[in-house]
Structure 1
Amino acid sequence: MMLDWSVGATRRLSSCDGYDCEIYCDGSISRRLPSCSGCLYRLDRAFHPFALKERSVPTTQSSQTGSPTPMALERVNGYTPLETATLITRAGCERETLPLSRLILKAFYGGCFICLGAHVFLLVVGGSPGLRESNEMLAVMVGGFTFPLGFVLIILTNSELFTSSLFFMTFTCLQRKTSILGALKVWVIGYIFNFAGALFIAGFLCWWANSLQDDTIKSYASVQAEKRVNVQWSVNFLRGVGCNWFVGLASFLAMTSGDHVSKIYCIWIPVWSFVILGYQHCIANFYLVPIGMFYGTNFGVGKYIYQSIIPVTIGNIVGGVFLAGVPFWFLYGRNSPMGLDHGKELAQKKGPGGEPNGDASADMNPREIGPRNVSDDPSQIV
């Protein structure tokens, strides 16, 4: 059902079960009064900014009459995989159209946030020598519970992380919604400034601030750095593959969630899991290895680059692209509504200055009626 829409118009829609659904529009915000119980009317901006569509609502069996009764979709706390694919497409388009200054700042913050979580992890595990001697895996599990802090900060602040962008940009490139050059720009800038943020935390807020005050923690910082570097090249490569598979899963699950509590839970479990499994994250290693080198290790910069940075980064790329981005595109992206050449314009919205404002995430909710302000959006994503 398509209706003409004009500024200031009011539409009263006749619905089932004797209810009326009244919708107001002032040109910028649309809202729905308590809706009918049999039909859900929504404004689907993915196809046309003011296209009013009718959707059926799932039904449940009534305990009294045995007849089907409608169930409101608002009760469902999450999105379907196809709806999630729409959100992923918009997120990738937003990344490509971000102004360079904003992309750089978001990437710098992303590196800082990841390393804040790694810093807390180092303090917890390094400060528990007795637990490490008696049960090292239990110490890693307890410390690993604090590590996802960085990923939560990134998602809830909509910052930029190289490893999660591998998933998003692969997905949208395969949909032909973003270009390969655009994806390379996001990846290269994200990687460089994630690295800068990690070194900022390691050098200024950890080593120079002397936040590792205990000698036991400083000793553990060196030991864990040596364990990350003094292994075979292929081992670090495969650890990188496994890590970013989990990061891609965490990114997808966070997109399926409609509220902050669910997002945090969906991020926490996969990230906690890859820490317990000993997988390697290249951006987190930009903090965990240099901080150990500051306090003394048995390897130098050259070995660190060859044995850790190169294999872990390549492994993260393989895991994010071929184990997360490509499979999820094949399952849900090929037939997504955003694959019908209607979605990229959402990321090309013009700001007051005439350039793309890069805030496609402001309209992330595929079920919502009408446009919303960015400050009101609870679904900001990585």
Structure 2
Amino acid sequence: MDPSYDPTKETVSLLLRSGVAKAKLSWTDLLLKSFLAGAFLSFGALFSLLVAGGASSLRAANPSLVTLISSFTFPTGFVILVFVNTELFTANVFVLILTTFARKTSLWDLLQNLVLSYVMNLAGCLFVAGFLCWWTDTLNTNALQSFAVTQAEARVNAQWSANFLRGVGCNWLVGLAIFLSISAQDKVSKIYAIWIPIWTFVALGYQHCIANFFLVPVGMFYGTNFGVGKFIYQSVIPVTLGDIVGGAVLDGFFIWLLYGKKIIKRNLDECSSSSRNGLPS
């Protein structure tokens, strides 16, 4: 193997290409892919909700075990949305911040992608929550409905600062899942690379703003003790801001600081060398 080969730098190069491709998406593709990402993510969240809500006696006797098992099912949606190549807001915060720092994409590209993906992720989550969960009566027992309410209230009835920091921790791990999946060579490795960080953030109780667009409305359908206003102020705003900080700073900025500048310098050196040798750059 070439001693100068650095797999981490190669992964960053692939991430930069991915960010450029995201910035070039047409509005139609971006909107549809973002809707699908929200829907796919919601399937994993619903899977987790069914497992935890249906184990009320075990939850009382051994809550850690239920948390371990139910959070293990949650990454299903992440795996699907990554393999189908959809547009998830929280992942795009990391990738497009990285490409923006590297001057591969513009600030307008960043803002356009994040705003549209956020709105359509929300639409996809509400579609699954309303039509494929509540209307289909998937949560068809008192225990499941009660747990849907309890988990939604726990997400909203928390300190603003706590929800913000839970968002930071969540998207730090989501960004790492994207980084690791890009570095993996085969599908099995990619699934493993996605699964472990996502499983970890769910088990730790961190919060994902897009997942909350499914989990909280489902609880509200069955009668939570809060309304839309409190959901927005106490959950949507702090968790979204936390997700942005986690993905943009702890992933995007730090990885650019460690590797991005070196890759840009290497590319410039290669172009300069080609020019000196009379080769097209």
> What is the TM-score with the length of structure 1 in the denominator?
0.68
Residue 182 of structure 1 is matched in structure 2 by: 109
Does structure 1 residue 137 correspond to structure 2 residue 90?
Answer: no
Separation (CA, whole Å) in 2 of partners of 1:332 and 1:164: 19
1:321 to 231, 244, 248: 248
- Alignment match of 2:34 (pick from 76, 101, 107): 107
Mark the CA change 1:131 to 1:339 in structure 2 (over 3 Å): closer, same or farther: farther
In the alignment, the residues of structure 1 paired with residue 17 and residue 121 of structure 2 have an alpha-carbon distance, to the nearest angstrom, of 22
**How far did residue 340 of structure 1 move?**
3.3
C-alpha separation in 2, matches of 1:164 and 1:187: 10
Alpha-carbon distance between aligned partners in 1 of 2:141 and 2:264, rounded to the nearest angstrom: 55
Q: Find the counterpart in structure 2 of residue 330 from structure 1.
A: 257
| Match in the other structure for 2:18 | 91
* Unpaired stretches in structure 1, ≥5 consecutive residues: 1-55, 59-72, 74-78, 343-382
Matches within 5 A, 1:51-130: 57=2, 80-130=7-57
Corresponding residue for residue 149 of structure 2: 222
Matched to 1:104, the amino acid is L
Q: Which has the larger radius of gyration?
A: 1
Which residue, out of 153, 169, 181, partners 1:242? 169
Give the structure 2 partner of residue 259 of structure 1.
186
User: In structure 1, what residue type is equivalent to 2:135?
Assistant: W
State the secondary structure of the residue aligned to 2:229: helix
The percent identity for this pair of structures is 53
Matched residue, 1:154: 81
- What SS is found at the alignment partner of 1:336? helix
Alpha-carbon deviation of 1:125? Answer: 0.2
Identify which of 209, 232, 237 aligns with 2:159: 232
Q: 1:282 aligns with which of 209, 217, 240?
A: 209
Per-residue displacement from partner, 1:44-89 (whole Å, max 9, x unpaired)? Answer: xxxxxxxxxxxx646xxxxxxxxxxxxxx9xxxxx80011011000
1:231 is paired with a residue whose SS is coil
2:168, 2:243 within 8 Å by CA — same for their partners in 1? yes
Q: Could you say what secondary structure the match of 2:158 adopts? A: coil
Whose strand fraction is larger, Structure 1's or Structure 2's? 1
Matches of residues 166-177 of structure 1 in structure 2 within 5 Å?
166-177=93-104
Change (3 A) 1:126 1:341: farther
2:267 is the alignment partner of 1:340:
yes
Kept in 2: contact 1:221–1:292 (CA 8 A) = yes
Counterpart position of 2:232: 305
Q: Which residue of 2 aligns with 1:191?
A: 118
TM-score computed with the length of structure 2 as normaliser: 0.93
Q: What is the Cα deviation at residue 213 of structure 1?
A: 1.1
Over 3 Å off, 4+ runs: 337-342
In the TM superposition, residue 236 of structure 1 has moved relative to its aligned partner by 0.3
Matches within 5 A, 1:22-37: none
Cα RMSD, aligned residues only: 1.5
- Give the paired residue count: 268
